[in-house]
Amino acid sequence: MALVLDNSVLDAILAQVRPLLGQGKVANYIPALAEVPASKLGIAICTVDGGCFTSGDALERFSIQSISKVLSLVLAMDRYEGDEIWRRVGKDPSGQPFNSLVQLELEQGIPRNPFINAGALVVCDMLQSRLSAPRQRMLEFVRMLSGVSDISYDARVARSEFEHSARNAAIAYLMKSFGNFDNDVIGVLQNYFHYCALKMSCLELAKTFLFLANQGRLPDGDRPVISPLQTRQINALMATSGLYENAGEFAWRVGMPGKSGVGGGIVAIVPHEMSIAVWSPELDGAGNSLAGIAVLEILAQNIGRSIF
């Protein structure tokens, strides 16, 4: 089916979804997130042939939070060979809330996948072991992917996350007790929270993640970010574990690999065609953007795109 996309198509979808605003709950575990206006709603789409479309608050930056877990994994897959990563973290859905310690204890400190907190912390621990300046490296990476040179961390968010880091500290120490955490917990948490505190707009996110729709390549570049096989693998992880314990529901409704963050952002991929980023700060019970999922569901139907 030929793709017909323009900004007015996106405007119409946002208008259709806007009545849902008010049904979710903005993340409030730190003040910096709680202050974000609940009514924000934006979408951006970038296609592999170079088009970009936006609607709503698509140019306003927000805290990407767990969406960064995909980026840190990509960085780690660049620095580690073969199964080095996968001996320390699994690839399967957890079936548990993203910050649970129950499964982690029963499974001896090996997180189910890199997109729950425990898994992302292991990935950050691995980056810490191999990168001299993990925070600077991430900034360079995101700026390179997006082509936007002033993307940076929201220092206030990072600080605030760190002040409320007890749960993640518990997760990291539990893994350390099983021998699956090498570096100083505080140091790794600092990096982890900075990654979560990346401030990006929907448009910048769509640009950044376009390589996952383009077999691992930047749209205009020769150099692959990752290989086509790695691209499929990361999309597979996003499809099965990208939306916390609602990966199945998301696949059912939207039918695209995706990754959400508690800042209300979701990125989704139509392989070989486009990357999509939506933003609406109100979350559903599982911690995913309530209106954001609805936008993606309608979009998928309207443009007739689904991996299934």
Q: Which of 65, 191, 235, 275 contacts a copy of itself by CB under 8 A?
A: 235
| Residue 117 is labelled as binding a ligand | yes
Task: State the catalytic residues.
Answer: 66, 69, 192, 244, 262
Of 124, 138, 192, 203, which Cα lies nearest the Cα of 161? 192
5 touches a copy of itself by CB under 8 A: no
**How would you label 50-65 residue by residue, b for 16+ Cβ within 10 Å and e otherwise?**
eebbbbbbbebbbbbb
Residue 18 carries which DSSP code? Answer: G
Q: Which of 245, 282, 284, 297 contacts a copy of itself by CB under 8 A?
A: 245
Q: Which of 183, 232, 273, 298 contacts a copy of itself by CB under 8 A?
A: 232
In the region spanning residues 137 to 166, those forming contacts with a copy of itself, defined by CB under 8 A, are: 166
Q: Give every CB contact of residue 305 below 8 A, 6+ residues apart in sequence.
A: 3, 255, 256, 270, 273, 274, 299
| Residue 107 is labelled as binding a ligand | no
176 touches a copy of itself by CB under 8 A: yes
Q: Read off φ and ψ for residue 180, nearest 5 degrees.
A: -110, 35
Q: Give every CB contact of residue 210 below 8 A, 6+ residues apart in sequence.
A: 46, 48, 145, 218, 219, 274, 275
| Residue 161 is labelled as binding a ligand | yes
| Residue 214 is labelled as binding a ligand | no
Of 181, 138, 130, 184, which Cα lies nearest the Cα of 158? 138
| Residue 146 is labelled as binding a ligand | no
210 touches a copy of itself by CB under 8 A: no
Q: How far is residue 207's CA from residue 39's CA, in Å, rounded to a whole number?
A: 24
94 touches a copy of itself by CB under 8 A: yes
260 touches a copy of itself by CB under 8 A: no
247 touches a copy of itself by CB under 8 A: yes
Q: How far is residue 63's CA from residue 157's CA, in Å, rounded to a whole number?
A: 8
307 touches a copy of itself by CB under 8 A: yes
96 touches a copy of itself by CB under 8 A: yes
User: Where along the sequence are the contacts to a copy of itself (CB under 8 A)?
Assistant: 90-96, 100-103, 105-106, 112-113, 166-167, 169-174, 176-177, 181, 185, 229, 231-233, 235-237, 239-241, 245-249, 251-252, 255, 257, 271, 301, 306-308
